[in-house]
Structure 1
């Protein structure tokens, strides 16, 4: 049984919500516990997996009983802070572990993944405007780095990398759709932000150079090429990719910008 008003947000700081109320669980191990249940929502998370994550491979002899205590305190805290009188039906005890049982759409990661998938379907069908609308909604669910206030052990680190990769793919698809729609000038500020965050990502640099050129900013596009060439040489000892070099030659040759 699921409580339709109860939800979890992990695309940013970890939050439990119930209606208009929101709560960030206290205590690093309690946050880890809820985070792991959330990234595996609907599955049974084995006690051994929880032990591995909570103590990073070096558990005390009392680890299993301590996990039970943490689950008890988590249920008590959520029930007290969010007014849910039956948290045991949200965080259920199974034979070998625990499971987080949420109503459909009550985990922001689930919403994000569905919207991203629908946007890809829209784009394949030739409906770029619908794809852009879904991607705007999907990326708007993010409030920062996934599980930003949760210290991660080995298990959560793997899940976090997977979730961040999904975000990166959605951002790239958003960029592609904006450019398909011919709105090159609009995407430049976001591309500048993204290359500052990920300066070795040649795909992002190529899209920035292309967007600048197609916006009528030929000089800025060439400066952006020289910048990424210098970054790659200094950081990795590499030359720009074929994609980047083709863009440079196209710009120098004065190829059509649209």
Structure 2
């Protein structure tokens, strides 16, 4: 269609987001009301919900103006218990992301780093900011946004590890520098940055990256970095042979750095 169907009002957009994340499945009227009113619906909840559904349908109808024979009621369908958004689930970015993420994680488990980096990279490129950033989140959307953000961070770690195993440490330096600046206390990202710096011939900068992490954690949390990251720092300091092994990444086992 090429036309935005997102309502400008907050509650209709919230309703549409929940329907989209459940594309092809009925979302009960009760679930919709719990989401948009956070378990405290007004007395007029039923007619007000119908009004919001009507607003969403009008947005669809505007977008369907040049699609003869198709009605908004063919897309947002009323069912006995609630409503169904009749779209291919893969037309929803969050659903498409989950599929690509699953393919990438399976490739990681199979040791296929090239395929893992490709699928996880495709999944991560679907993101254009925080999950549901422009939608008010009630209890259900809040949980979904949290799940998506955690999966995104996990997939990012896995994709970078796959790239490190493929010897792409030079290409990762700029991305990891930015990520560490945005997430100064995420140890796995800092560990990946330290490994990439060391393999790029920047041992001093790798050691400095550790000191920055340590200073931030002590200042903000009053704790030292984890034993694993301290062990990595020692390996970089002493030039441990494992540091040049492409299979050695941020998910290493402590025994791999044993003397």
> Unaligned stretches of 5+ in structure 2?
245-259
1:114 paired with 2:102, answer no
Normalization by structure 1: what TM-score? Answer: 0.87
User: Among 102, 120, 141, which residue is 1:135 paired with?
Assistant: 120
- Aligned pairs for 1:189-200 (under 5 A) are 189-200=174-185
The partner residue of 1:166 within 151, 157, 160 is 151
Q: Helix, strand or coil: the match of 1:126? A: coil
Are the counterparts in 2 of residues 195 and 204 from structure 1 also a CA contact under 8 Å? Answer: yes
1:12-51 map, 5 Å: 18=1, 20-51=2-33
Task: Name which of 58, 69, 72 aligns with 1:76.
Answer: 58
1:49-64 map, 5 Å: 49-64=31-46
Q: Which residue of 219, 244, 258 maps to 1:234?
A: 219
Q: What are the Cα deviations for residues 66-85 of structure 1, in whole angstroms up to 9, with x where unaligned? A: 11111011111111134353
User: Which structure has the higher relative contact order (CA within 8 Å, separation 6+)?
Assistant: 1
Contact 2:185–2:216, Cα closer than 8 Å, also in 1 = yes
How many residue pairs get aligned? The number is 240
Equivalent position SS for 1:73: helix
Secondary structure, in 3 states, of the residue corresponding to 2:41?
A: coil
Distance 2:181 2:75 in 1: 41
Determine if the alignment matches structure 1 residue 103 to structure 2 residue 88. yes
Q: CA RMSD in A?
A: 1.7
Would you tell me which structure has more helix in proportion to its own residues?
2
Number of the residue aligned with 1:8:
none
Aligned to 1:245: 230
Is the CA contact (8 Å cut-off) linking 2:24 and 2:89 kept in structure 1? Answer: no
**Could you list the runs of 5+ residues in structure 1 that have no partner in the other structure?**
1-17
